[in-house]
Amino acid sequence: MPKNKGKGGKNRKRGKNEADDEKRELIFKEDGQEYAQVLRMLGNGRCEANCFDDNGGKKRLCHIRGKMHKKVWIAAGDIILVGLRDYQDDKSDVILKYMPDEARLLKAYEELPDSVRLNEGIAGGLDEDEDFGADYIEFEDEDIDKI
């Protein structure tokens, strides 16, 4: 049998997720940067995002940089900070992923447009005023007691 030369398995490589608990300072965009919302993940360290430019927004192909790769997990609907490229307008680089509470703060500071929908993915959740359809059944307290 071959001797194991590694220092551990998959869980050691994954590491501990201790950075989620601590608060970090809110980072605002600078020149050459823009806020964006992830539309879909494409694989190979890339995603498609809708940037909130001054001219109404633009879809861009975003590259997740190596420092974030396999450490910061990005999903559809997340708010990210991207660095724009001077030589390619349709491509950008992901600099930072905002946590949900940071995204809410950005919207409160009016950094993000009002049309942005947070915390529900790009598919969009159920609104309060939306009709639920046949799958939704509402029970009264008396009905529960009969069951």
* pTM of the complete model beyond 0.85: no
Whole-number Å distance between alpha carbons of 81 and 57: 14
> What dihedral angle (degrees, nearest 10) is formed by the CA atoms of 92, 111, 107, 117?
-40
Report the candidate in 104, 121, 105, 99 with the shortest Cα–Cα distance to residue 21: 99
- So what's the pLDDT on residue 55? 66
Question: 18 pLDDT band (50/70/90 cuts)?
Answer: low
Could you tell me the residue ranges of all domains in the chain? 27-120
Query: Where residue 24 falls among pLDDT bands split at 50, 70, 90?
Result: confident
Model confidence at 31, pLDDT cuts 50, 70, 90, reads very high
Please give the Cα distance from 116 to 111 (Å, whole number): 11
Which CATH architecture best describes the domain 27-120?
Beta Barrel (2.40)
Q: Which residue has the higher pLDDT, 99 or 123?
A: 99
**Residue bearing tokens 């608990």:** 21
